A and B are shown apart, each in its own frame.
Chain A
Amino acid sequence: MTTLLVSCLSKAFGSQPVLTGIDLEVPEGSLTAVLGPSGSGKTTLLRVVAGFERADRGTVTVGGTPVDDGHRFVPSEQRGIGYVPQEGSLFPHLTVEANVAFGVRRHPRGWRRLTAPSQRGPAGRPGASVGALLDMVGLAGLGGRYPHQLSGGQQQRVALARALARGPSLVLLDEPFSSLDASLRASVRADVQGVLRDRGTTAVLVTHDQDEALSIADQVAVVRGGRVGQCGTPQQLYDHPSTPELARFLGDANLVTGTVVGDRVDTPFGVLPLRAAPGTPPPAAGLVTALVRPEQLRVETGAGPGMPALVLRREFHGHDTLVTVEPAVGPAGERGNGRADPVSIRADGDLVLPVRAPVRVTATGSVLVWPTGS
């Protein structure tokens, strides 16, 4: 069952096209990340789905009902879609409790009783009580505070609780973690993911952070230049990006030129089994662009096979070390095809190598290839 269906959606501001035919299908209960650089139109997509902007062309269907298809436009207050803006946008004049209860119609005996069985959210799900919601987002006991008395992470949690209070069928999150500092981001992100999953709420999260998208989403849609470049599970996107450009966008990528020989490809790091990019037949022969992820590579010293290189720099991350090397040129380095782009290797955290040290780079696993020029 699909909760949100967006097809051929276009939107321009004045003469500036922002969305140029977006297609997106969000299955029920999933967390879909819309990933794109700033200016790619991802926030506009969210605002059209929420009903803050109107589509120029295309349709938006929520729970099987068209809400914006050129003829009809359901105003956002009737869509039953939860929305968590970038900065939280809590109502500054209301307490945390009143913020969370804002969208819920009051029960005659007060809003604490809004969980009466007769009171059902617009999607037919029972709404939770304000107390339970605050408990769920880890803010039990802070209901009497005002937004300015909360930290950024707490504000973001309240914004989520507020969006969930009506039991919406779909929740939209617009870069909800980008205003938090790094240490807080991970914990808030995990909590939000947990809450959404526990409630089985379908969610669409807009982000420009590929780590975030890959780590918490069930489905990732990469938006580039106003359309969806590729959509799939994080694993699919990481392993089979449809273009070299997307490969580089989703995680660290080494793109090298290789030559196909049968079902293997000859790369600077050695001859490796190949996988074809989605939608393209496996090339039988010829030059290809090959994707080798840094964790497939190993740095070795001493004599042996592999690509000779010089260490350029080393970034220590604790659990691992990202080593950047420069392919050695000269007699020993002519194996490749003249490409001398630096190569990143994810090595063990305790690897210690001086800069300019001569090393060899070898590879394991299979590589994804695109015909050169794609």
Chain B
Amino acid sequence: MPSATAVSTPTTPTDPPAPGTPVLGRTRRPRVLWALSSAVAALLALPLLYLVAQSASTGRAHLVHLVFRSFTFALVWNTIRLSVAVTVACAIIGTAAAWLIERTDLPGRRIWAVVVVVPLAIPDFVVGFGWVSVAPAVHGFLGALLVMSLALYPLVYLPVAASFRGADPGQEEVARSLGLGRLATFRRVTLAQARPALVGGCVLVSLALFAEYGAFEILRYQTLTTEIFFESQRSYDLPVASSLSLILVVLSLAVLGGDAAVRNRGRVTRSARATRAGSLHRLGLATVPASLALLALVVLALGVPIGVIGYWLVEPGTTTLPAATTLVDAALTTAGYAAGAGLLATALALPVALLAARHPRRSTRTLERSTFIVQAIPGLIIALALVYFSVHAVRPLYESTPLLVLGYGILFFPLALVAVRTSVAQAPLALEEVARSLGRPPLVVWWRVVLPLIGPGLAAAFSLVFLSTVTELTLTLVLVPTGVQTLATQFWAFSSDLSYGAAAPYAAVMIAIAVVPSYVLGRWFDRLPTRSNPTVPGSGS
């Protein structure tokens, strides 16, 4: 029972406001939301603006020269071939794992479902570090393929598993009754149902690969991003950096645009929400190899990095344990930045989500979608853009904490938006209307109805951004104020010096901070569909 609130003012219908009192109808709110959302969209457009400004200052001839060098081609080829190979590998691993765990009678499915997702909480550069220190032969293209596939397959697993869970089992049954065999049914029905999720996951994998810096640096594999980092942070050749950034962003945007095109073409319709679980496929003799395969996946993706960190932590000869104070300092600094980033990203997402969910029109949808473009901008480029604008326009912000938090806020805005959007849908306008008709003024309604309903989603957005920030490296390396250390930068500094023993504690703390919230989040997202009031506001005649 919520505590007593004596906020409402006693008014009766025989006591209407005097004529001439300005009436605030519902038309007023969108105006405020519009202003806020547009400001957010403008903020998110800064990185693109930076690219345009940089390219313009480089000059067209010089830019063309830089873009069409054989060196650039080599980098583009490196980036594309790796991203294609890793995406395919992730699609296969993720879909197979999802099918085994969601659609078969594999023993221990609920435990597997938790364990196979955990690699998502381990930063890619830590996975790379684990593999390199265990097997120095892991490097170059094949090394990068191995490490990135193991680090990124959960991005495919999660949406595909969710789609298997929610798929209408009737469709498979109908296919079987129409004479399709098991394999044909899987290919033509099961996979077709999961296709949007699979494509969405693959897009996330590609974008993550385009943006990755740390793991490739460790694995000595050169991509556009590692080269942009080198040019901008080490040799300070900004024209080269910006020409490569342009190519990188064009590649990312192409992937994002291709995703949208594919999605609109092959929309999977279904008549009704699945109300019952489909019958599980019996694995029979295949149970053993299937379990072994999952076990191998978990050992490679989770066991190796965790084992290596553990090894360096307990190995007395090699460990030069850092002073506990630096570790605690770095952890507190990281947590502070992450909290700021979580608050900022959630705050940025709220008006956009409210506008799009509450006032669904073409214009609001376009605005919402435009903010998702930020997904395609690698963190490194967001960082470079913020450096550029702070140096040129707001000098005091340069190398300051607010600028770093702003960078996180922009980078993780899409994460926050997805979570906030889901929760805003939990509080349909109809509930607010009922609350108003029960005599509660708008502010009280917000406090007692809207906030309790969207609160969990806001918390989820915050935690999602929080844990992503804890493990963020690239943008942090560029924007972190001089003399300040976070867990990621400390780990990076030590592992770059090959002081693995000194680096390991930072990785351990990072993972500890990141794993717990991701488990909580997973539980929260799992509970989401158990809602009772899917009200459509303002429907009917």
Contact = CB atoms under 8 A, between A and B. Distances in A.
B4 A65 contact: no
A149 B532 CA distance: 8
Interface in B2-43: 2, 4-6, 8, 10-21, 23-26
A83 B452 CA distance: 22
B13 A169 contact: yes
Contacts of B289: none
A63 B533 contact: no
Contacts of A75: 23-24, 436, 441
B453 interface: yes
A105 interface: yes
Interface of A is mostly: loop
A91 B16 CA distance: 27
Contact of A76 (B19, B426, B433, B538): B433
B533 A92 contact: yes
Contacts of A82: 437-438
A240 interface: no
A294 interface: no
Given A77-B437, A92-B453, A93-B453, A67 B19 contact: no
Interface of B is mostly: loop
A328 to B, nearest CB: 42
Given A90-B533, A103-B440, A105-B8, 4 more contacts: A43-B539, A43-B541, A82-B438, A91-B449
B431 interface: yes
Contacts of B449: 91
Interface of A: 18, 36, 38-44, 47, 50-52, 54, 62-63, 65-67, 71-83, 85-95, 97-98, 102-103, 105-106, 122-123, 146-148, 150, 155, 159, 162-163, 165-166, 169, 174-175
Given A62-B13, A71-B19, A122-B12, A77 B433 contact: no
22 contacts: A40-B541, A50-B437, A65-B13, A65-B16, A74-B16, A77-B437, A77-B438, A78-B17, A82-B437, A83-B434, A85-B434, A89-B428, A90-B532, A92-B453, A93-B452, A102-B440, A102-B448, A122-B13, A123-B13, A162-B438, A163-B438, A174-B540
B535 A89 contact: yes
Contacts of A52: 26, 433, 436-437, 538
Contacts of B435: 91, 102-103
* From A18, A62, A78, residue with most partner B Cβ within 10 Å: A78
Given A83-B433, A89-B430, A38 B13 contact: no
B265 interface: no
Nearest to B453: A93
Contacts of B11: 77-78, 122
B16 A147 contact: no
B261 to A, nearest CB: 31
A78 B12 CA distance: 6
B439 interface: yes
Contacts of B430: 85, 87, 89
Nearest to B12: A122
Nearest to B540: A43
Contacts of A106: 4-6
Contacts of A88: 533
A174 B430 CA distance: 12
B271 interface: no
B111 interface: no
A166 B11 CA distance: 12
Nearest to B431: A89
Interface in B449-474: 449, 452-453
Nearest to A40: B541
Nearest to B428: A89
Nearest to B21: A72
B2 to A, nearest CB: 7
A123 B11 CA distance: 11
B541 A41 contact: yes
Interface string B397-408: 000000000000
A52 B12 CA distance: 17
B16 A67 contact: yes
Given A47-B538, A123-B13, A77 B531 contact: no
Given A54-B25, A65-B14, A92-B453, A102 B541 contact: no
B324 interface: no
A44 B428 CA distance: 18
A54 B24 CA distance: 11
B272 interface: no
Q: Top 9 nearest A-B pairs by Cβ distance?
A: A103-B438, A148-B532, A43-B540, A83-B437, A74-B16, A80-B13, A73-B23, A122-B12, A43-B541
A64 to B, nearest CB: 8
Given A78-B15, A91-B449, A148-B531, A86 B540 contact: yes
